Amino acid sequence: MLQTIQKAGELLALFDRDHTEWGVREVATKLEMAKSSAHDLMASLAKLGFLNKTEDSRYRLGWRLVTLSETLLATTELRKEAHPVLEELAGQYQETIHLAVLDDTQAIYVDKLEGRQAVRVELTSLGARLYAHCSALGKVLLAYSSEEEVRRIIQTAGLPRFTPNTITDEEELQQNLIKIRKQGFAYDMEEILPDLCCVAAPIYNHLGHVIAAISMSIPAYRFRRSQTEFREGVMRAAKKISKQLGYYGSSQKVS
Protein backbone atom coordinates (compact mmCIF):
# COMPACT_ATOMS: atom_id res chain seq x y z
CA MET A 1 0.00 0.00 0.00
CA LEU A 2 2.78 2.41 0.95
CA GLN A 3 4.60 1.77 -2.33
CA THR A 4 1.39 2.39 -4.27
CA ILE A 5 0.84 5.72 -2.50
CA GLN A 6 4.44 6.69 -3.19
CA LYS A 7 4.10 5.85 -6.88
CA ALA A 8 0.84 7.80 -7.06
CA GLY A 9 2.62 10.82 -5.62
CA GLU A 10 5.50 10.46 -8.07
CA LEU A 11 3.02 10.14 -10.94
CA LEU A 12 1.09 13.29 -10.03
CA ALA A 13 4.37 15.17 -9.64
CA LEU A 14 5.16 14.48 -13.32
CA PHE A 15 2.51 16.98 -14.39
CA ASP A 16 3.65 20.58 -14.82
CA ARG A 17 3.21 23.44 -17.30
CA ASP A 18 5.53 21.79 -19.79
CA HIS A 19 4.07 18.30 -19.39
CA THR A 20 0.30 18.60 -19.15
CA GLU A 21 -0.49 15.17 -20.58
CA TRP A 22 1.04 11.74 -20.08
CA GLY A 23 0.44 8.37 -21.71
CA VAL A 24 0.62 5.04 -19.91
CA ARG A 25 3.79 3.94 -21.72
CA GLU A 26 5.51 7.26 -20.97
CA VAL A 27 4.66 7.03 -17.26
CA ALA A 28 5.80 3.41 -17.09
CA THR A 29 9.16 4.37 -18.60
CA LYS A 30 9.57 7.49 -16.48
CA LEU A 31 8.72 5.79 -13.19
CA GLU A 32 10.44 2.51 -14.11
CA MET A 33 7.37 0.37 -13.57
CA ALA A 34 5.47 -2.23 -15.59
CA LYS A 35 3.08 -0.84 -18.20
CA SER A 36 0.20 -2.82 -16.67
CA SER A 37 0.94 -1.32 -13.23
CA ALA A 38 1.08 2.18 -14.68
CA HIS A 39 -2.24 1.59 -16.44
CA ASP A 40 -3.93 0.35 -13.26
CA LEU A 41 -2.57 3.23 -11.19
CA MET A 42 -3.62 5.91 -13.69
CA ALA A 43 -7.06 4.33 -14.13
CA SER A 44 -7.55 4.29 -10.35
CA LEU A 45 -6.51 7.95 -10.02
CA ALA A 46 -8.90 8.84 -12.85
CA LYS A 47 -11.74 7.01 -11.09
CA LEU A 48 -11.04 9.11 -7.97
CA GLY A 49 -11.00 12.34 -9.99
CA PHE A 50 -7.29 13.07 -9.61
CA LEU A 51 -6.72 12.44 -13.33
CA ASN A 52 -8.87 12.87 -16.43
CA LYS A 53 -8.59 10.51 -19.40
CA THR A 54 -8.57 12.21 -22.80
CA GLU A 55 -10.20 10.95 -26.00
CA ASP A 56 -6.84 9.66 -27.24
CA SER A 57 -6.30 7.65 -24.02
CA ARG A 58 -3.82 10.05 -22.45
CA TYR A 59 -4.20 11.58 -19.00
CA ARG A 60 -4.41 15.11 -17.61
CA LEU A 61 -4.80 16.33 -14.04
CA GLY A 62 -8.34 15.99 -12.73
CA TRP A 63 -10.66 18.63 -11.31
CA ARG A 64 -10.69 16.94 -7.90
CA LEU A 65 -7.30 18.54 -7.32
CA VAL A 66 -8.82 22.00 -7.74
CA THR A 67 -11.32 21.27 -4.99
CA LEU A 68 -8.56 20.05 -2.68
CA SER A 69 -6.42 23.09 -3.48
CA GLU A 70 -9.25 25.48 -2.70
CA THR A 71 -9.96 23.66 0.55
CA LEU A 72 -6.30 23.81 1.55
CA LEU A 73 -5.99 27.52 0.83
CA ALA A 74 -9.30 28.37 2.51
CA THR A 75 -8.44 26.51 5.71
CA THR A 76 -4.74 27.36 6.05
CA GLU A 77 -4.18 29.87 8.84
CA LEU A 78 -1.17 31.42 7.10
CA ARG A 79 -3.09 32.40 3.97
CA LYS A 80 -6.19 33.49 5.89
CA GLU A 81 -4.15 35.85 8.05
CA ALA A 82 -1.85 37.01 5.28
CA HIS A 83 -4.33 37.71 2.48
CA PRO A 84 -5.83 40.95 3.90
CA VAL A 85 -2.31 42.27 4.51
CA LEU A 86 -1.32 41.39 0.95
CA GLU A 87 -4.38 43.28 -0.28
CA GLU A 88 -3.35 46.35 1.72
CA LEU A 89 0.19 46.21 0.37
CA ALA A 90 -0.94 45.77 -3.24
CA GLY A 91 -3.41 48.62 -2.83
CA GLN A 92 -0.82 50.96 -1.34
CA TYR A 93 2.03 50.33 -3.77
CA GLN A 94 0.14 49.05 -6.85
CA GLU A 95 2.79 46.36 -7.38
CA THR A 96 2.64 42.55 -7.50
CA ILE A 97 2.68 40.91 -4.06
CA HIS A 98 3.52 37.26 -3.40
CA LEU A 99 3.30 34.84 -0.50
CA ALA A 100 5.36 31.65 -0.65
CA VAL A 101 6.51 28.69 1.42
CA LEU A 102 9.40 26.27 0.95
CA ASP A 103 8.25 22.88 -0.30
CA ASP A 104 11.01 20.30 -0.60
CA THR A 105 13.61 22.07 -2.78
CA GLN A 106 11.57 24.93 -4.24
CA ALA A 107 9.46 27.90 -3.29
CA ILE A 108 5.76 27.41 -3.96
CA TYR A 109 3.46 30.41 -4.34
CA VAL A 110 0.37 30.16 -2.15
CA ASP A 111 -1.03 33.64 -2.81
CA LYS A 112 -0.55 36.43 -5.33
CA LEU A 113 -2.09 39.87 -5.78
CA GLU A 114 -1.45 42.37 -8.55
CA GLY A 115 -1.69 46.14 -8.22
CA ARG A 116 -3.00 48.40 -10.96
CA GLN A 117 0.40 49.39 -12.30
CA ALA A 118 2.03 46.05 -11.54
CA VAL A 119 4.15 44.23 -14.08
CA ARG A 120 2.61 40.85 -14.89
CA VAL A 121 4.85 38.06 -13.61
CA GLU A 122 3.81 34.89 -15.44
CA LEU A 123 6.29 32.66 -13.59
CA THR A 124 4.58 33.13 -10.26
CA SER A 125 0.97 32.06 -10.67
CA LEU A 126 -0.78 30.49 -7.69
CA GLY A 127 0.71 27.07 -7.05
CA ALA A 128 3.73 27.69 -9.28
CA ARG A 129 7.12 26.47 -8.11
CA LEU A 130 10.41 28.30 -8.53
CA TYR A 131 14.05 27.60 -7.72
CA ALA A 132 14.79 29.16 -4.35
CA HIS A 133 18.27 30.53 -5.03
CA CYS A 134 17.21 33.06 -7.66
CA SER A 135 14.18 34.71 -6.04
CA ALA A 136 13.94 37.07 -3.08
CA LEU A 137 11.26 34.88 -1.51
CA GLY A 138 13.29 31.75 -2.00
CA LYS A 139 16.45 33.25 -0.58
CA VAL A 140 14.58 34.35 2.55
CA LEU A 141 13.23 30.83 2.99
CA LEU A 142 16.71 29.36 2.49
CA ALA A 143 18.28 31.87 4.88
CA TYR A 144 16.13 30.69 7.77
CA SER A 145 16.58 26.99 7.01
CA SER A 146 19.32 24.89 8.61
CA GLU A 147 22.71 24.63 6.91
CA GLU A 148 22.10 20.93 6.33
CA GLU A 149 18.79 21.64 4.61
CA VAL A 150 20.31 24.31 2.40
CA ARG A 151 23.11 21.95 1.34
CA ARG A 152 20.54 19.23 0.55
CA ILE A 153 18.50 21.63 -1.58
CA ILE A 154 21.58 22.81 -3.49
CA GLN A 155 22.75 19.25 -4.10
CA THR A 156 19.30 18.15 -5.23
CA ALA A 157 18.10 21.14 -7.26
CA GLY A 158 21.39 22.71 -8.27
CA LEU A 159 21.94 26.42 -8.90
CA PRO A 160 20.88 26.95 -12.53
CA ARG A 161 21.48 30.33 -14.15
CA PHE A 162 18.50 32.32 -15.47
CA THR A 163 20.09 35.74 -16.04
CA PRO A 164 23.65 37.13 -15.81
CA ASN A 165 22.80 38.19 -12.23
CA THR A 166 21.75 34.75 -10.96
CA ILE A 167 23.88 33.43 -8.10
CA THR A 168 25.30 30.09 -9.23
CA ASP A 169 28.21 29.72 -6.80
CA GLU A 170 27.40 27.89 -3.55
CA GLU A 171 29.82 29.92 -1.41
CA GLU A 172 28.45 33.19 -2.76
CA LEU A 173 24.90 32.03 -2.02
CA GLN A 174 25.83 30.99 1.53
CA GLN A 175 27.35 34.43 2.18
CA ASN A 176 24.22 36.03 0.77
CA LEU A 177 22.05 33.97 3.13
CA ILE A 178 24.12 35.06 6.13
CA LYS A 179 23.57 38.68 5.12
CA ILE A 180 19.83 38.11 4.73
CA ARG A 181 19.55 36.70 8.26
CA LYS A 182 21.38 39.72 9.66
CA GLN A 183 19.33 42.35 7.84
CA GLY A 184 15.95 40.59 7.81
CA PHE A 185 15.19 40.95 4.09
CA ALA A 186 16.37 39.76 0.68
CA TYR A 187 16.63 41.22 -2.80
CA ASP A 188 16.29 39.72 -6.25
CA MET A 189 18.21 42.09 -8.51
CA GLU A 190 17.12 40.83 -11.93
CA GLU A 191 18.20 37.31 -10.95
CA ILE A 192 15.23 35.38 -12.36
CA LEU A 193 14.00 37.76 -15.07
CA PRO A 194 15.69 40.75 -16.72
CA ASP A 195 14.28 44.13 -15.71
CA LEU A 196 12.45 42.69 -12.68
CA CYS A 197 13.50 43.27 -9.07
CA CYS A 198 11.97 41.94 -5.87
CA VAL A 199 12.28 42.46 -2.13
CA ALA A 200 11.12 39.86 0.41
CA ALA A 201 10.89 39.46 4.18
CA PRO A 202 10.29 36.49 6.51
CA ILE A 203 7.03 35.57 8.24
CA TYR A 204 7.30 33.96 11.68
CA ASN A 205 4.85 31.70 13.48
CA HIS A 206 4.08 31.76 17.20
CA LEU A 207 7.14 29.62 17.93
CA GLY A 208 9.48 32.09 16.25
CA HIS A 209 10.09 29.86 13.22
CA VAL A 210 10.08 31.30 9.71
CA ILE A 211 7.28 29.49 7.86
CA ALA A 212 6.80 31.71 4.82
CA ALA A 213 7.94 34.87 3.07
CA ILE A 214 6.22 37.84 1.47
CA SER A 215 7.60 39.77 -1.48
CA MET A 216 6.95 42.65 -3.82
CA SER A 217 7.92 42.46 -7.51
CA ILE A 218 8.73 45.75 -9.22
CA PRO A 219 10.13 46.79 -12.62
CA ALA A 220 13.83 47.53 -12.17
CA TYR A 221 13.54 51.23 -13.02
CA ARG A 222 10.81 51.82 -10.40
CA PHE A 223 12.55 49.65 -7.83
CA ARG A 224 15.85 51.51 -7.96
CA ARG A 225 14.03 54.83 -7.68
CA SER A 226 12.22 53.88 -4.42
CA GLN A 227 14.11 50.86 -3.12
CA THR A 228 14.03 51.83 0.56
CA GLU A 229 10.31 52.60 0.50
CA PHE A 230 9.46 49.24 -1.09
CA ARG A 231 11.69 47.37 1.37
CA GLU A 232 10.18 49.04 4.41
CA GLY A 233 6.66 48.38 3.15
CA VAL A 234 7.33 44.67 2.73
CA MET A 235 9.01 44.38 6.12
CA ARG A 236 6.09 46.11 7.85
CA ALA A 237 3.66 43.75 6.16
CA ALA A 238 5.70 40.68 7.15
CA LYS A 239 5.85 41.90 10.74
CA LYS A 240 2.08 42.44 10.79
CA ILE A 241 1.35 38.95 9.47
CA SER A 242 3.81 37.42 11.95
CA LYS A 243 2.10 39.23 14.81
CA GLN A 244 -1.30 37.96 13.67
CA LEU A 245 0.15 34.44 13.74
CA GLY A 246 1.18 34.94 17.35
CA TYR A 247 4.80 36.06 16.99
CA TYR A 248 5.77 38.95 19.24
CA GLY A 249 9.54 38.52 19.38
CA SER A 250 12.01 41.00 17.98
CA SER A 251 15.04 38.74 17.54
CA GLN A 252 15.45 36.67 14.39
CA LYS A 253 15.59 32.93 14.81
CA VAL A 254 16.74 30.29 12.38
CA SER A 255 14.19 27.55 11.79
Per-residue H/E/C for the chain: CHHHHHHHHHHHCCCECCECCECHHHHHHHCCCCHHHHHHHHHHHHHCCCEEECCCCCEEECCHHHHHHHHHHHHCHHHHHHHHHHHHHHHHHCCEEEEEEEECCEEEEEEEECCCCCCCCHHHCCCCEEEHHHCHHHHHHHHCCCHHHHHHHHHHHCCCCCCCCCCCCHHHHHHHHHHHHHHCCEEEECCCCCCEEEEEEEEECCCCCEEEEEEEEEEHHHHHHCHHHHHHHHHHHHHHHHHHCCCCCCCCCCC
For residue 255, pLDDT beyond 50 = no
**84 and 59 in one domain?**
no
pLDDT in tens, 183-242: 999 999 999 999 999 999 999 998 899 999 999 999 999 999 999 999 999 999 999 999
d(CA 192, CA 131) in angstroms, rounded, equals: 9
pLDDT of res. 42: 92
**8 and 117 in one domain?**
no
Higher pLDDT, 225 or 66: 225
pLDDT of res. 64: 81
pLDDT of res. 1: 66
**6 and 83 in one domain?**
no
**226 and 189 in one domain?**
yes
**201 and 116 in one domain?**
yes
For residue 75, pLDDT beyond 60 = no
In a domain, 88, yes or no: yes
pLDDT of res. 250: 61
Q: What is the CATH number of the domain that holds 87?
A: 3.30.450.40
**155 and 235 in one domain?**
yes
251 pLDDT band, cuts 50/70/90, is very low
Average pLDDT over residues 139-155: 95
pLDDT of res. 226: 94
pLDDT of res. 120: 64
pLDDT of res. 252: 43
**13 and 57 in one domain?**
yes
**pTM, rounded to two decimals:** 0.74
In a domain, 56, yes or no: yes
**87 and 18 in one domain?**
no
Q: What is the CATH number of the domain that holds 31?
A: 1.10.10.10
Average pLDDT over residues 22-38: 91
What is the average pLDDT score of the chain? Answer: 88
**52 and 26 in one domain?**
yes
Last residue of a domain, one of 38, 63, 88: 63
- Give the number of domains in the chain: 2
**133 and 12 in one domain?**
no
**195 and 139 in one domain?**
yes
In a domain, 254, yes or no: no
d(CA 106, CA 153) in angstroms, rounded, equals: 8
Structural domain harbouring 23: 2-63
For residue 254, pLDDT beyond 50 = no
pLDDT of res. 229: 96
pLDDT of res. 214: 97
**205 and 114 in one domain?**
yes
